[in-house]
Structure 1
Amino acid sequence: MADAANGRAGGDVRSIFPQIYFRLKAELLEDPAFDFTDEGRQWINRMLDYNVPGGKLNRGISVIDSYKLLKGYELSDDEVFLACALGWCIEWFQAYFLVLDDIMDNSHTRRGQLCWFRVDKVGLIAANDGIILRNHIPRILKRHFREKPYYVDLLDLFNEVEFQTASGQMLDLITTHEGEQDLSKYTITVYHHIVQYKTAYYSFYLPVACALLMSGENLDNFVDVKNILVEMGTYFQVQDDYLDCFGDPQAIGKIGTDIEDFKCSWLVVQAMALVNESQKKILTGNYGKSDPACVAKVKSIYKDLNLQNVFFEYERLSYLQLISSIEGLPSKAVQEVLKSFLHKIYKRQK
């Protein structure tokens, strides 16, 4: 099972992890449940390479990093392979949601290239490709984890997090209906609800939960850990929203468009809670418009309200609260896992 990682258990995870992708892809292209034509195999091969491995891979690699900290010893080749396989399941999961999300949002680019549905001869075939991406996950799990005592728990975990993420996406979509755009709906309660379900569960809780299951733990005993990770995911999204407006495009790799896209951003939620009547009129009259002059007026309101300092204070207090919660956990190994997550994202610039 561990051929791809053979002799490399002690090596750099970032060099091992991409190798496992090619192993898993090759297995899926020969899946006995489907009689592939050459054309079908070529399509899946191209679709996977375009959508799965192109991101930062932080979610997937976090499974291996977390598992190593939980076990506290040098992992065997087999353990490295299995942790990598679970990490890639999360990257497949991410690709599935991004492919469909881009269709729903009518987006143009993703990870520095055209969205998959905008690629020549793809179009709405991308909707079916999203379904295929999601169905690859149980294929990988069945092939490599079926004999493990935590196999059913893994299936349940992915199903549960998928439901939570899809529900968060629904909240996001119905809150920003075209033609029904109303900034008064953008409250901190609505914001937290969207972020918690759309982002925090799959980006922060899912990798650690996979590592805990591999370690033989019962997730019912780690509700406090889940809550901390969801809070961390919320903090991460607030950072994202801040960087979308105030970050350096060279550093973050994109030009932010949350204002133009009428996003339920942390910044506009804070602004709506702080504006006076004249500022509110300017904000509601210009938010969600692509005209650079309108965007400049919104940013001017943000600066007048000193939202950069509001964010810095939020960041400081969030960090202190997260550290306090983490240090209250009984397991030192779990504390190390969560602190490693937090230190990767604290005061990030991209």
Structure 2
Amino acid sequence: MAVNGRDIKTDFLKVYSRLKADLLTDSAFDFTDDSRAWISRMLDYNVPGGKLNRGISVVDSYKLLREGNELDENEFFLCCALGWCIEWLQAYFLVLDDIMDNSLTRRGHPCWFRLPKVGLIAANDGILLRNHIPRILKRYFREKPYYVDLLDLFNEVEFQTASGQMLDLITTHEGEQDLAKYKLPVYRRIVQYKTAYYSFYLPVACALLMSGENLDNFVSVKNILVEMGTYFQVQDDYLDCFGEPAVIGKIGTDIEDFKCSWLVVQAIERANEDQMQLLHENYGKTDPACVAAVKALYKDLDLQTVFSKYESESYEKLISNIEAEPNKAVQEVLKSFLLKIYKRQK
């Protein structure tokens, strides 16, 4: 992907190096050699290792809002800086999420807290990652007219995401696993708050603020993006069960982990008494035979067709809502997001 003839991912990563260097020389803290080395290693391990889609989306969205006008070097850098703030936010969430879930791996490597000599120091590292965001914003955006709006935006989205994580944790609380809780409104609320706001709304909101827009005028855009984020998570849940591990890059574990997945919610809505008994006996068990029994039930209930119908209807509804937006540049931003995820296989 190129912006102004540049390879955006390569240049995006160069901005990471600059931001990291800033943080390692932040005058608010008197670094020792050991502390600087720790932060450097912690950042490299946790921040730039993902797909970077959220961060790069800020650049893509701002470019579309400019309706094809070229970005100068400063505009490109500021877009990237905001994009990296989102990647920092993601890293903060994941470091702490892995501790809470007692996870083993992340992005094909051991979770940060699993590394020798890290352990629960990772909890403080998560706090540091979160605190790096306002340090970056203060350094590069303090003189901008939208600086306070940026701070408010990141604070609000962080609160929404943490609240969504809380809903997820208390719904799937170990020792209190109850399939009766797994209903579509509960699922939608978890997904919207835990994933959709920071993954879909936040990148576009950053680009809108950089473009001089007032976010209060874009409530309908927020609603579309949150709905798109919900659709994205439903896809994730579907691929966790029916996707090819070689394609999606992981072996799904939603069944073993007793996740409030879209598939199990749909199964509960459709299951007869015997099928519900099968779910109660097998869902949340690590035994491969139990996992296979749940997957067989999903196929018996034809959830692949149910998903296909949901995907088509969601796409048509989203396109209709996007085309009702009066701002053509905003329409293009929203369509670009939707085209990236529609019928994705990973």
- Mapped partners of 1:187, 1:204: distance in 2: 24
Instruction: Tell me the equivalent position of 1:323.
Output: 319
Instruction: Tell me the equivalent position of 2:189.
Output: 193
- TM-aligned CA deviation for residue 15 of structure 1: 1.7
Which of 269, 274, 283 is the aligned partner of 2:270?
Answer: 274
1:13 aligns with 2:8: yes
Residues 254-309 of structure 1, C-alpha deviation per residue, up to 9 Å, x if partnerless? 00000000000000000000000000000111000000000011001000000001
Runs of 4+ in structure 1 deviating by more than 6 angstroms, as ranges, are none
1:60 aligns with 2:55: yes
Instruction: Tell me the equivalent position of 1:262.
Output: 258
- Could you say what the CA RMSD is over the residues aligned between the two structures, in angstroms? 0.7
Instruction: Tell me the equivalent position of 2:77.
Output: 81
DSSP 3-state at the match of 1:94:
helix
- Mapped partners of 2:318, 2:10: distance in 1: 31
Instruction: Report the residue type matching 2:221 in the other structure.
Output: V
- Mapped partners of 1:310, 1:120: distance in 2: 45
Instruction: Tell me the equivalent position of 2:30.
Output: 35
Residues 93-143 of structure 1, C-alpha deviation per residue, up to 9 Å, x if partnerless? 000000000000000000000000001100000000000000000000000
1:120 aligns with 2:116: yes
- Mapped partners of 1:58, 1:18: distance in 2: 12
Given that residues 63 and 207 in structure 1 are in contact (C-alpha distance below 8 angstroms), is that contact kept between their aligned partners in structure 2? yes
- Mapped partners of 2:327, 2:7: distance in 1: 26
- Give ranges in structure 1 of 5+ residues lacking alignment: 1-7
Residues 154-203 of structure 1, C-alpha deviation per residue, up to 9 Å, x if partnerless? 00000000000000000000001111100010000000000000000000
Instruction: Report the residue type matching 1:197 in the other structure.
Output: Y
TM-score normalised over the length of structure 1 = 0.97
Instruction: Report the residue type matching 2:35 in the other structure.
Output: G
DSSP 3-state at the match of 1:181:
coil
TM-score normalised over the length of structure 2 = 0.99
- TM-aligned CA deviation for residue 11 of structure 1: 1.1
Instruction: Report the residue type matching 1:276 in the other structure.
Output: N
DSSP 3-state at the match of 2:15:
helix
Instruction: Tell me the equivalent position of 1:3.
Output: none
Which of 88, 100, 106 is the aligned partner of 1:110?
Answer: 106
Count how many residue pairs are aligned between Structure 1 and Structure 2.
343
- Mapped partners of 1:15, 1:342: distance in 2: 24
Instruction: Report the residue type matching 1:120 in the other structure.
Output: P
- TM-aligned CA deviation for residue 153 of structure 1: 0.2
Which of 175, 199, 206 is the aligned partner of 1:210?
Answer: 206
- Mapped partners of 1:50, 1:121: distance in 2: 14
- Mapped partners of 1:240, 1:121: distance in 2: 33
- TM-aligned CA deviation for residue 14 of structure 1: 1.5
- Give ranges in structure 2 of 5+ residues lacking alignment: none
1:172 aligns with 2:168: yes
